[in-house]
Homo-oligomer: A and B are copies of this chain.
Amino acid sequence: MDDEKTFDEIIEEVIQLLDDKKYKQTRDVLLEYNPADIADILTEVLDEASLDEAIIAFRMLPKDISVDVFSFLSIDDQVAIINGITDREINYIVSELDFDDKIDVLDELPANVVDKILEKTPKNERSQINTFLNYPDNCAGTLMTPEYISLQIGWTVDDALKHIKKAGMDTETIYTCYVKESGRKLFGIVSLRSLVVNDGDTPVSALVVTDFVSVNVYDDQEEVYDKFRKYGLLAIPVVDKEDRLVGIITMDDILDVGEEETTEDIERMSGIIDSGTSEYLDTSVWKQVKNRLPWLLGLMCSYIITGGIIAGFENALSACISLVTYMPMLMGTGGNSGSQSATLIIRGLAVGDVALKDWARVLWKEIRVSFIIGICLSAFNFVRIYCVEGHMSPEAMPIAITVCVAMILIVIGAKCIGSMLPLLAKRIGIDPALMASPMISSLTDLVSVLTYFMLAVAILKV
């Protein structure tokens, strides 16, 4: 895509050609790009023109390229395309897909289409597909492929390379090979690198690494991602409860998981119920309402309490109505301070920089940080309220003092709440990401109002 044409111009050209029914030319334009880019172009055609045109363009691609392009499409687009092509084309594409991609597609198709595809699948593969389709969502089992290279411990490097040469075409990766012992238990792994750099008569047993990292088939995908990152792996073996090798997960399948998990975290941190893998523009209005309303409604209830607190101070407010003008600032700053702390701790927990046992260190750091920040913000406000707005009149002094003391206490309180709540959530087994901005600011608003009005009553004697 390092062409002089921009991506938008290419889309425009392709859609124009399709509209003009110049199919041969469409095909030639598409074939200038690599499969990942063609998939991008088709996605845009599907969004901006019509599904029918996207399907026509897709069907015109050479068979082998169409499979690659298909594997780069989003799962929703894959299903849309499957519904628009002939059974024969479906069978070809599905049979040529890598095993893990195949499972992903089958998982989303209606049962009758799946049945039709499975009918034409060899029996042993069919039962394997059924096993894979039954793994719960987001576990290692749904990411793995059973197509890996097995080596025999008694082989030499030459034997191994000969085997890889034969079996290599149909497996997802050949860069890591696996050696099993009796009962399908995983004994060790051999990298293709070690095979290639060693002499042909070296025994495989001399190259096998038995100190390997593996995951269980029911492990959450986030754990799998963390292991890839920590150990810098290209592939990871997946074992069942009896330590038997059932499949492998390769690097390319895990990068998307990283993005998904990040999106989930970020959405939770903003009070949005997980949108799953669906894209913003593709989710319906009702689904969006369903993802957002519960949190807004729940958080609104906390404001009933905040409102109640204010109602309790109505006398004080009537006596000094200008107290209200500083309320948004104190509440807003409290919320922002708390969110900053919560974010740092949530992120620290997620990447492993902060652990539960560090809570006292975290609290002590937050208290010092918030004290300094509180003093700075108060100094700014004192100048503003007493000197600038109050013209240094003696009446302005008590209000200035109330606001400034409240500011310091609110910032300290907010940062303590913001930093401790994610740790508490982790302690009791809730996702810390839920304790971010909306939750924290609702809570700190409550604390801010209470602190401010209690101080006002004490200092202003209203």
Contacts and interface: CB of A to CB of B under 8 A. Distances in A.
A396 to B, nearest CB: 14
A196 B211 contact: no
A231 to B, nearest CB: 5
Given A197-B169, A289-B373, A293-B376, A324 B317 contact: yes
Main secondary structure of the interface of A (DSSP, over half): helix
Contacts of A314: 321-322, 324-325
B270 A340 contact: yes
Nearest to A230: B36
A358 interface: yes
B354 A281 contact: yes
A196 B165 contact: yes
Copies per complex?
2
B329 A300 contact: yes
Contacts of A228: 255
Interface in A202-246: 211, 213, 228-232, 234
A361 B327 CA distance: 37
A332 B347 contact: no
Contacts of A337: 292, 296
Nearest to A314: B321
A174 interface: yes
A280 B344 contact: yes
A259 interface: yes
Contacts of A270: 339-340, 342-343, 436-437
A271 B336 contact: yes
Interface stretch (A108-116, A125-133, A441-449): A441-449
Contacts of A295: 336, 340
A381 B304 CA distance: 10
A192 interface: yes
A175 B340 CA distance: 43
A299 interface: yes
A165 B161 CA distance: 13
A376 B288 CA distance: 14
Contacts of A285: 365, 368-369, 372
Contacts of A49: none
Nearest to A74: B353
A333 interface: yes
A445 B197 contact: no
Contact of A347 (B256, B266, B358): B266
A88 interface: no
B322 A311 contact: yes
A333 B381 CA distance: 26
Contacts of A326: 307
Given A255-B232, A314-B321, A292 B340 contact: yes
A192 B168 contact: no
Contact of A299 (B299, B332, B354): B332
A272 B343 contact: yes
Nearest to A286: B372
A5 interface: no
A333 B197 contact: no
Given A232-B255, A251-B234, A328-B331, A380 B303 contact: no
A186 interface: no
A381 B376 CA distance: 39
8 contacts: A192-B196, A279-B353, A288-B369, A303-B329, A310-B327, A324-B327, A331-B331, A336-B442
Given A258-B258, A314-B324, A331-B331, 14 more contacts: A165-B196, A234-B234, A259-B351, A280-B362, A281-B361, A293-B373, A295-B340, A296-B377, A310-B325, A310-B328, A314-B321, A321-B321, A336-B441, A336-B442
Which 3 pairs across A and B sit closest by C-beta, in order of nearness? A303-B329, A232-B252, A270-B343
